[in-house]
């Protein structure tokens, strides 16, 4: 079955439409530091406003543990949404209480309200199905239709994502529709050559996606903290670098499978090491097989791919027609260890075909390093959800919208 889209809902003029968005943005002292997820909701919200729907936006933010917590309030997000939409956005100070009911009752055609953080209610994330369903029933009383557009949560069986979509007529918004279309292209008949770039701290976080994409990719590039487990699997000493010893045999298996299937597995040939996890620490560039031979010695801590690796990765990316990248190449938050991530991002902007940044830290990295969203084919809004999709897993928030 195909994903139900907005068209399937017919005219929404005058109807109360709940939009389950993903507005889980980073906040510092109540200020949004990256509004990418807020911007990603705009096409769906503007389409509903244009139709004359009465729009009720709901989302989670952070992990407030089922109780109200001011530092996780969606109020700054509602204010930002108002600025981006160029119109007032009402804000309800609860999820399904008196404030929410009053805000919804006051809506006229084309108006927008945001209700407070869904995770202030324990029913949103409850493992108990009855508790979760009860909260979804309360949410359903606010609206007549659900538009699910929070791709970052479709891998979770939560009240607003899964149960609410069973209670109300429901469909995917434009963001989920686009995410599914792009990620499907990465798993089903991608245009070749197809390169997968994986980084981030742990191999164990990426086991499923490596296993699923290994037979489908032409090249797999491995950087970030996870690279040291691959280097250890080659017999190299990695100093105090992040190492998952229990994954070395698994990694050796992947290396053998890649060779057997003719997939080019490109591993780092050099790295940037430091004496400590600090931007001010002594550091050195070294070949991958000589990490403990620098003046730093056995305490060397690998924090980025080296310049030769950056160049090799960039060449592989630029000559590809389809590229999927998930996970930074180093500790990009610190300037001395950002060069590898920047080189990969820049190469993605120069790839001739479909370039996909796989959400999470990768999305944060490209924005922090000064790249614009439109320089890439697609920036996913869901790190965990996009990885699970690419692992071939069933995602409850998509299945409930008809996706098989």
Angle at 183 between CA 33 and CA 387, to 5 degrees: 65
Instruction: State residue 1's pLDDT score.
Output: 60
- Residue whose tokens read 């097989």: 289
C-alpha to C-alpha distances, 175 to 51, 65, 275, 365, 369, nearest whole angstrom: 18, 27, 43, 21, 24
Q: What is the mean pLDDT of the segment spanning 217-223?
A: 96
Say whether pLDDT at 344 is over 80.
yes
CB contact at 8 A, 92 and 143: no
- Alpha-carbon span 218 to 95, nearest angstrom: 47
Per the model's pLDDT, the better-predicted residue between 219 and 352 turns out to be: 219
d(CA 309, CA 221): 10
Task: Kindly indicate the confidence band of residue 242, based on its pLDDT and cuts at 50, 70 and 90.
Answer: very high
Strands (E), 136-269: 145-148, 170-172, 194-198, 219-222, 264-266
301-305 and 27-28: which strand pairing? unpaired
User: Which active-site residues does the annotation give?
Assistant: 37, 202, 360, 384
Degrees to nearest 5, angle at CA 37 with 33 and 39: 95
Q: What are phi and psi of 302, to 5 degrees?
A: -75, 125
Nearest to 263 by CA among 254, 271, 274: 254
Distance CA 40, CA 397 (A): 18
Once rounded to an integer, what is the mean pLDDT over residues 124-151? Answer: 98
Span 294-323, average pLDDT: 96
360 is in an annotated binding site: yes
C-alpha span between 37 and 370 (Å, rounded): 17
How many Cα atoms within 13 Å fall on the side-chain side of residue 308?
10
pLDDT score at 205: 86
Query: Which residue reads 């809902």 in tokens?
Result: 9
Whats the size of the chain, residue-wise?
A: 404
Mean pLDDT value of segment 370-387: 90
Beta strands in 14-156, from DSSP E residues, in sequence order? 16-20, 27-28, 31-32, 54-58, 90-91, 112-114, 145-148
pLDDT confidence tier of residue 364, bands split at 50, 70 and 90: confident
Alpha-carbon distance of 326 to 386, in angstroms, equals 9
Structure tokens at 205: 């976080």
Average pLDDT score over residue span 238-250: 95
Residue 364: partners with Cβ closer than 8 Å, 6 or more residues away: 26, 34
Q: Which two tokens stand for residue 175?
A: 């963001």
What lies within 8 Å, CB to CB, of 288 at 6+ separation is: 231, 236, 267, 268, 269, 270, 271, 306, 309
For residue 359, say whether it is annotated as part of any ligand binding site: yes
Mean pLDDT, rounded, for 120-130 = 97
pLDDT tens digit sequence for 160-206: 999 999 999 999 999 999 999 999 999 888 999 999 999 998 888 88
Q: Is 3 annotated as a binding residue?
A: no
Residue 204: what pLDDT? 87
Q: Is 377 assigned to a binding site?
A: no
Annotated binding-site residue? 390: no
- Known binding residue 24? Answer is yes
Q: Does the annotation place 61 within a ligand binding site?
A: yes
Q: Is residue 392 within 8 Å of residue 212, measured between CB atoms?
A: yes
Per residue in 53-112, pLDDT (tens digit) is 999 999 999 999 899 999 999 999 999 999 999 999 999 999 999 999 999 999 999 999
> Does 65 carry a binding-site annotation?
no
| pLDDT digits 0-9 by tens, 280-307 | 999 999 999 999 999 999 999 999 999 9
The chain-wide mean pLDDT, for the chain, equals 95
CA–CA distance, 296 with 282 (Å, rounded to integer): 8
Q: Is the peptide bond before 398 cis (omega within 30 degrees of 0)?
A: no
According to the annotation, is 7 in a ligand binding site? Answer: no
Question: ∠86-89-94 over CA atoms, to 5°?
Answer: 160
């Amino acid at each position: 079955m195909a994903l139900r889209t907005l068209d399937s809902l017919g005219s929404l003029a005058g109807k109360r439409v709940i939009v389950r968005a993903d507005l889980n943005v980073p906040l510092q002292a109540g200020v949004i530091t990256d509004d990418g997820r807020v911007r990603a909701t705009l096409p769906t919200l503007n389409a509903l406003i244009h139709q004359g729907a009465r729009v009720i936006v709901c989302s989670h933010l952070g992990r407030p543990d089922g109780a109200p917590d001011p530092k996780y309030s969606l109020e700054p997000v509602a204010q930002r949404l108002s600025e981006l939409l160029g119109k007032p956005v009402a804000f309800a100070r609860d999820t399904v209480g008196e404030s929410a009911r009053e805000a919804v009752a006051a809506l006229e055609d084309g108006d927008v309200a945001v209700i407070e953080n869904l995770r202030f209610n324990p029913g949103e994330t409850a493992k108990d199905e009855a508790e979760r369903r009860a909260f979804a029933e309360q949410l359903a009383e606010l609206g007549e239709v659900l538009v699910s557009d929070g791709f970052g949560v479709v891998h979770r069986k939560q009240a607003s994502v899964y149960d609410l979509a069973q209670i109300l007529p429901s469909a995917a918004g434009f963001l989920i529709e686009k995410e599914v279309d792009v990620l499907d292209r990465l798993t089903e008949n991608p245009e070749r050559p197809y390169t997968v770039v994986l980084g981030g701290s742990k191999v164990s976080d990426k086991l499923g996606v490596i296993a699923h994409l290994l037979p489908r990719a032409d090249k797999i590039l491995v950087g970030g903290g996870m690279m040291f487990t691959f280097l250890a699997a080659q017999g190299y000493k990695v100093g105090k670098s992040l190492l998952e010893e229990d994954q070395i045999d698994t990694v050796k298996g992947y290396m053998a499978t890649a060779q057997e299937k003719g997939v080019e597995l490109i591993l780092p040939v050099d790295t940037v090491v430091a004496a400590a996890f600090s931007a001010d620490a002594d550091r050195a560039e070294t070949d991958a097989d000589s990490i403990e031979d620098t003046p730093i010695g056995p305490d060397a801590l690998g924090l980025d791919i080296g310049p030769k690796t950056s160049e090799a990765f960039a060449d592989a990316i630029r000559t590809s027609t389809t590229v999927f990248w998930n996970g930074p190449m180093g500790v990009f938050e610190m300037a001395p260890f950002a060069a590898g991530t920047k080189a990969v991002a820049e190469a993605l902007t120069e790839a001739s075909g479909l370039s996909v940044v796989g959400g999470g830290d990768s999305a944060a990295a490209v924005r922090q390093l000064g790249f614009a969203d439109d320089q890439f084919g697609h920036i996913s809004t869901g790190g965990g959800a996009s990885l699970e999709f690419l692992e071939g897993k069933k995602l409850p928030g998509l299945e409930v919208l008809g996706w098989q």
